[in-house]
Copies of this chain bind each other. A is one copy, B any other.
Amino acid sequence: MLALDRNLLHRFGLLLVILGVGLALSVATDTFLSVANLTNVARQISINGILAVGVTFVLLTAGVDLSLGSVVALSGVACATFAHPGEHPVIIPIAVGLLTGAACGLVNGALVTRGGVAPFIVTLGMMTIARGLALIVSGGRPVANMSNELTAFADDLFGVPIPVLCFAAVAFAAWFFLRNFRLGRHIYAVGGNENAARAAGVPVERVKLFAYALCGLLTGLAGVVLAARITTGQPNAGQAYELDAIAAVVIGGTSLAGGVGTITGTLLGVLLIGVINNGLDLMGVSSYYQAVIKGVIIVGAVWLDRRQSRS
């Protein structure tokens, strides 16, 4: 409880920016504050949100995962391949998608820990490998004809989109896990000072492997959700998704040097990016200026946040 409060206070600047942007949008447009639109925002951030939560684990261990986008595509394609109507029960394509992601994460983790190769290189390699595999598996064409059971994964449940429920569940579980599990504490320790953690008896390699594998699993989930949403396994989907996800995490106060950061922060980062994207579209800002404004708001938000948390 204490830690949560401290954290919200810590990220107060960011919260302020989000509220400010939200307020400006409510004034500038009639639609921003409508239930329908806020549901939209929630729906749109859910994929980036799931990825961001996953990559938070990796960043906390002072690693990085650049393969998110490609693995989203690969998992989506893998899932779609098994999702043709009447072929398998719906659990099969979902499991295939999740396991594909987890397998990629596991390979990343193994290369980082056993191979001793820098995470940047490993996951950059995985980025091109997974993209290549997605294209090979699908023959370069979208894998269509998915069963309704699977695409229903993107529908609403009691008025809330299922992707949003997934995201919420994932975020809550991750938050709970990092706070209350021994392994969660170990993740912070490994990222904070790997050698010291090892000397203190933390199984550093296993902890890192876990972080990459979990990130992969969640990336697989994002792939399945995306495939359900766009009703195809798209081999060229997810371009540059890793940048948005990592940006959200870093905006939320997680250090790329590892050991510092929270899921609450990540959620705020995801929210900021989502609100900007939605708001600029609602305002009808031209694409060219959208890019400029988005960049300025993100840098500005982080600048304000850091200024406030320093004082």
Contacts and interface: CB of A to CB of B under 8 A. Distances in A.
Interface in A116-157: 116-118, 120-122, 124-129, 131-133, 135-136, 140
A107 to B, nearest CB: 10
Given A125-B298, A126-B295, A295-B128, A117 B247 contact: no
A181 to B, nearest CB: 27
A303 B26 CA distance: 53
A307 interface: yes
A180 interface: no
A246 B176 CA distance: 35
A27 B129 CA distance: 25
B303 A128 contact: no
A112 to B, nearest CB: 10
Contact of A116 (B117, B124, B140, B306): B306
B135 A291 contact: yes
A127 B133 CA distance: 28
A34 interface: no
A-side interface mostly: helix
Interface of A: 66, 111, 115-118, 120-122, 124-129, 131-133, 135-136, 140, 240, 243, 246-247, 250-251, 255-257, 287-296, 298-299, 302-303, 306-307, 310
12 contacts: A111-B299, A117-B306, A120-B250, A125-B295, A125-B298, A128-B291, A132-B291, A132-B293, A135-B287, A135-B291, A136-B289, A240-B240
